[in-house]
Amino acid sequence: MNNNLISRRGRPPVTAVVAAVLLALVAGACGSDNNSGSAAGSGSTTEPKATVDCASGSISGAGSTFVQTIAQQWIKDYATACPGATVNYQGVGSGAGIQQFIAGTVDFAGSDVTMKPDEEAAASAKTGAVLHIPWSAGGIAVEYNLSTVKDLKLSPETLAGIFAGKITKWDDAAIKADNSGASLPSTGIQVVHRSDGSGTTAAFTAYLTAAGPGTWTAGSGKDVPWPTGQGAKGSDGVSGAVKQTDGAIGYSEVSFAKGAGLGIARIKNEAGQFVGPDGAAVAAALAGAEVPSDLKVKINYKPTDASAYPISTTTFVIVPRKPADAAKAKLLKSFVLYALTAGQTTAESLYYAPLPSSLREQAKTAAQSIGA
């Protein structure tokens, strides 16, 4: 024990000093916001500037993680075309995005599902009438890990049976029937699903409910009582778990299945064709959706088009009909219109799908009315 500590003076607040020094060091290192010098990205399609009706200022939005990747691309391309504008989008989840939109902390929300009546009432009370504008679309890939099967084909009933826990082996007769000639192993099927609430889950389970009646009984929603399988957080978590587990099957946005290098099953549509989730197939499926005048698209999970991929969904941007701030209204309108026009061409390179043209025209009309 020290005996001569009495002479000691109080020492300086160590952490504060350290942090201040570090801050000075880093701040002095001259960080840069300029990332345009070395655009090595392959997904960036340079748009002719003429098509963009630029606005300036700053808006921020939050919500759907589904749309985050393409939103990031739009933000980059829009900022290149319109240097005076800053758009900030954070993928915090559709539910949280809607809550923040209601609270007024963001200018727009991204959501995979439409607002519930009470949410819409709360938002209208805050910002006036709100618009749901579909602005992107994508297929939900059924991804699997089977070294012996390169091209898995599944009918809706079989898929529902697997996720309902009624089909438990890969060499089940139902899977064999869908894949004549394939060498299916006798390993057990490990189902992987989302553990977090998710718009992807909502679309996937809505499809199972529509396509596998009697087999899939757990209902549909952002989160359901899964009859079987393991949960994983986020699409990256699901894809990672499928990749780690031999005999696993899961669902995610196409980009995650591709990113993890997983096999993607082809799903049988109403016309009896086995189709994969590429952009054209998704657009074909969504062309069969019912579009009411408020644009709250009702997906038809049994599209009749022979080229349609049935597990397809749209995602919405939710904006005030008349934003209080005129400058923000202008930027919001400009950005959403950009996403609906030039922005659609980047969709396929990022494994999204362009909106079918009729839906896109309706969405554009709605976007034109922002602030008008």
The continuous run of DSSP H or E covering 144 comes out as: strand 130-144
- Residue selected from 255, 269, 315, 334 as contacting other proteins according to rule CB under 8 A: 255
Number of amino acids touching other proteins (CB under 8 A): 99
Beta strands 153-154 and 266-268: pairing type?
Answer: parallel
- Does the footprint of other proteins cover residue 91 (CB under 8 A)? yes
Query: Among residues 35 and 180, whose Cβ is nearest to other proteins?
Result: 35
**b/e burial code for range 305-319 (CB count within 10 A of at least 16 → b):** beebbbbbbbbbbbb
Neighbouring C-beta atoms of residue 42, cutoff 10 Å: 7
Minimum CB distance to other proteins smaller for 75 or for 366: 75
Q: Does 220 bind other proteins (CB under 8 A)?
A: no
Q: Of 52, 55, 59, 75, which lies in the binding site for other proteins, with binding defined by CB under 8 A? A: 75
Q: Determine, following the binding rule CB under 8 A, whether residue 50 of this chain makes contact with other proteins.
A: no
Q: How far is the CB of 195 from other proteins (least distance, A)?
A: 4
Tell me the chain's radius of gyration from C-alpha atoms. Answer: 24
| 184 touches 176 (CB < 8 A) | yes
241 binds other proteins (CB under 8 A): yes
Pick 117 or 181: Cβ nearer other proteins: 117
Tokens read off for 87:
């758009």
3-state secondary structure of 51: helix
Which residue, 33 or 290, is less far from other proteins as judged by CB?
A: 33
Whole-number Å distance between alpha carbons of 245 and 247: 6
Query: Which of 67, 288, 266, 292 minimizes the C-alpha distance to 154?
Result: 266
How far apart, in whole angstroms, are the C-alpha atoms of residue 336 and residue 344? Answer: 11
Q: What whole-number distance in Å separates Cα of residue 55 and Cα of residue 180?
A: 56
Q: Which of residues 327-346 bind other proteins (CB under 8 A)?
A: none
- In the complex, minimum distance from the CB of residue 85 to other proteins, in angstroms, rounded to a whole number: 11
57 binds other proteins (CB under 8 A): no
If you search the block for the tokens 């993607």, which residue do you land on? 264
Cβ of residue 181: shortest distance to other proteins, in angstroms? 30
Give whichever of 91 and 303 is closer to other proteins, judged by the CB atom. Answer: 91
What is the footprint of other proteins within residues 183-212 (CB under 8 A)?
Answer: 190, 195-199
**Are 191 and 165 in contact, with CB atoms under 8 Å apart?**
yes
- The stretch among 58-66, 144-152, 174-182, 356-364 that binds other proteins (CB under 8 A) is 58-66
Minimum Å distance from CB 279 to other proteins? 16
CA dist 163 and 212 (Å) reads 10
Contacts (CB under 8 A) with other proteins, residues 96-125: 96, 98-99, 103, 105, 116, 118-119
User: Taking CB under 8 A as the rule, does residue 215 contact other proteins?
Assistant: no
Name residues whose C-beta falls within 8 Å of residue 320's C-beta, 6 or more positions apart in sequence. 123, 127, 128, 129, 130, 131, 329, 370
CA 234 centroid distance within chain: 11
315 binds other proteins (CB under 8 A): no
Beta carbon of residue 189, minimum distance to other proteins (angstroms, whole number):
12
The yes or no reply on residue 38 touching other proteins (CB under 8 A) is: yes
223 binds other proteins (CB under 8 A): yes
Residue 7 within binding range of other proteins, rule CB under 8 A: yes
**Minimum distance of other proteins from residue 288's CB (angstroms):** 27
Task: For the CB of residue 343, give the shortest distance to other proteins in the complex, in Å.
Answer: 12
Q: Which tokens is 53 given?
A: 């009706």
Residue 216 is encoded by which pair of tokens? 């899939």
Residues 14-33 that bind other proteins (CB under 8 A): 14-23, 26-27, 29-33
Phi, psi of 342, rounded to the nearest 5 degrees? -60, -35
Q: Which stretch binds other proteins (CB under 8 A): 10-18, 147-155, 157-165, 279-287?
A: 10-18
